[in-house]
């Protein structure tokens, strides 16, 4: 069958390029060029020029470098220390005690960074030494950090949701709001697991060292107020329809700079380091998006997405069976590529199948992010595992083993949003103009 031969040839070519270590963006461009040149009569140069320019010249994409910069600024501030000081006094009575700092700290930092790796690195630097000093079990220290850091991909402002929104032409604001309840669901599942584990293994949890009066707890918690106001300002303005994600990101950068300056961590070096870090990351993602956009158009000229969608249609898969198959596909792919590459690499082929199956693209965006989160803690290329290995010096397999319960909790969350899609869709449906 010539169509299947064409698909197999281009797939092998793409895998060979990725396996050789060539940048993802160059690999996508090369496969798109090969598809147009050999399997269609479209003018290659004109298609490439207009597609890459169109993918880069997007106002929605302007939110990406701004949110990344906001995260870079706060990454270099006293945010992590403030969170530990503000959260720890309230957790002494909860089974698991300070292990919950990892979960809640990651949840809070995820709401200002948008990056899973940055969340793992920032919270890990702060919490792991403190928890080790208090003799908390290593497996739970590492597991809670590995699992909770994946919240950086889901809780808005999520970088990967911006990428998905641009790649699939979905509303980024609605995607952001759709990620809130699933993010809170994951936080609840993680806390519940730690509570149950701690009740079953009381002897492994260190005894409470100090009991603070209420006034002292409140005094320490004041350090959380600025960052909570930042989160509420950015996410609340988007939800109310007052600001677009790009406008809210610009305000977030200004507030992050102000917080960093008031905290005494903003100087010329940290400002330039944050700016350069955001520039490098943003350029990398924008380059990948441009390559993916060109590949999407090239695949359209070859007719591959239409053929695959028709083939899937002939299998008469139920939506649940299709989602199960795609989950396995994304997890396997995520073992070898980072989350953003997985999303941009697959949207051109996957979206026609999703639309044909009658699945809501907005809901599917959250579904994809949850599956990509699972891949973040799956060897051999789980990015969170590498970050935590670098922080602790532990063997990567020990880190992966500690993360297994949280991988299973992500599976539970995936099942829950599939059975109850309202968890994802209810807030976007209530949004203001």
Distance CA 346, CA 429 (A): 27
Cα separation, 409 vs 374, whole angstroms: 9
Query: What is the pLDDT at residue 114?
Result: 67
CA 27 to chain centre: 23
Per-residue confidence (pLDDT) for residue 310, from 0 to 100: 67
For position 178, what pLDDT does the model report? 92
Contact 28, 296 (CB under 8 A): no
Which residue is listed with tokens 């050999």?
38
Query: Mean pLDDT for each consecutive 10-residue tract of the chain (433 residues)?
Result: 73 81 82 86 85 76 79 74 72 79 82 72 76 85 87 81 85 89 92 92 75 71 78 77 80 85 84 87 78 78 70 74 84 70 76 83 91 77 73 80 90 93 90 60
Peptide bond into 82 cis (omega under 30): no
Any residues with CB less than 8 A from the CB of 206 and at least 6 apart, and which?
97, 134, 135, 136
Q: Where are the domains of the chain?
A: 45-431
Q: Which residues contact 373 (CB under 8 A, 6 or more apart)?
A: 116, 150, 151, 153, 154, 339, 410
φ/ψ of 370, rounded to 5, equals -60, -40
The pLDDT value recorded for residue 116 is 75
Give pLDDT, residue 337: 65
Dist CA 351 CA 348 (whole Å): 6
Smallest CA-to-CA distance from 113 within 230, 236, 25 is with: 230
């Amino acid at each position: 069958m010539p169509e299947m031969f064409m698909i197999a040839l281009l797939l092998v070519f793409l895998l060979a390029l990725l396996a050789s270590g060539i940048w993802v963006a160059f690999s996508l461009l090369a496969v798109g060029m090969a598809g147009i040149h050999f399997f269609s009569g479209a003018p290659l140069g004109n298609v490439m020029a207009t597609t890459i320019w169109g993918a880069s010249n997007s106002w929605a994409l302007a939110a990406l470098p701004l949110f990344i910069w906001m995260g870079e600024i706060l990454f270099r501030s006293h945010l992590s220390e403030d969170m530990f000081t503000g959260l720890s006094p309230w957790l002494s009575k909860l089974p698991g005690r300070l292990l919950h700092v990892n979960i809640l700290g990651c949840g809070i930092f995820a709401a200002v960074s948008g990056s899973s790796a940055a969340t793992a690195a920032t919270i890990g630097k702060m919490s792991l030494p403190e928890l080790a000093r208090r003799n908390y079990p290593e497996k739970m220290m590492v597991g809670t950090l590995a699992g909770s850091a994946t919240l950086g991909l889901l809780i808005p402002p999520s970088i990967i949701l911006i990428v998905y929104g641009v790649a699939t032409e979905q509303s980024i604001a609605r995607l952001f709001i759709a990620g809130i309840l699933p993010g809170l669901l994951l936080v609840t599942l993680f806390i519940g697991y730690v509570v149950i584990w701690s009740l079953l293994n009381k002897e492994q949890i260190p005894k409470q060292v100090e009991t603070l009066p209420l006034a002292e707890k409140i005094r320490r918690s004041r350090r959380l107020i600025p960052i909570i106001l930042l989160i509420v300002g950015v996410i609340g303005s988007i939800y109310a329809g007052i600001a677009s994600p790009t406008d809210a990101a610009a305000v977030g950068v200004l507030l992050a700079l102000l917080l960093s300056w008031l905290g005494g961590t903003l100087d010329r070096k940290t400002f330039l380091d944050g700016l350069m870090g955001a520039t490098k990351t943003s350029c990398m993602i924008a380059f990948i998006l441009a390559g993916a956009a060109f590949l999407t158009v090239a695949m359209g000229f070859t007719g591959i997405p239409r053929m695959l969608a028709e083939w899937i249609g002939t299998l008469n898969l139920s939506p649940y069976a299709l989602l199960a198959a795609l989950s396995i596909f994304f997890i396997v792919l995520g073992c070898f590529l980072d989350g953003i590459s997985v999303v941009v690499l697959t949207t051109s082929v996957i979206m026609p199948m999703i639309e044909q199956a009658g699945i809501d693209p907005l809901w599917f965006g959250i579904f994809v992010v949850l599956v990509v989160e699972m891949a973040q803690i799956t060897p051999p290329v789980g990015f969170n595992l590498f970050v935590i290995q670098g922080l602790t010096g532990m063997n990567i397999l020990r880190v992966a083993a500690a993360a297994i319960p949280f991988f299973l909790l992500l599976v539970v969350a995936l099942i829950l949003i599939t059975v109850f899609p309202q968890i994802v869709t209810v807030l976007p449906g209530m949004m203001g103009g």
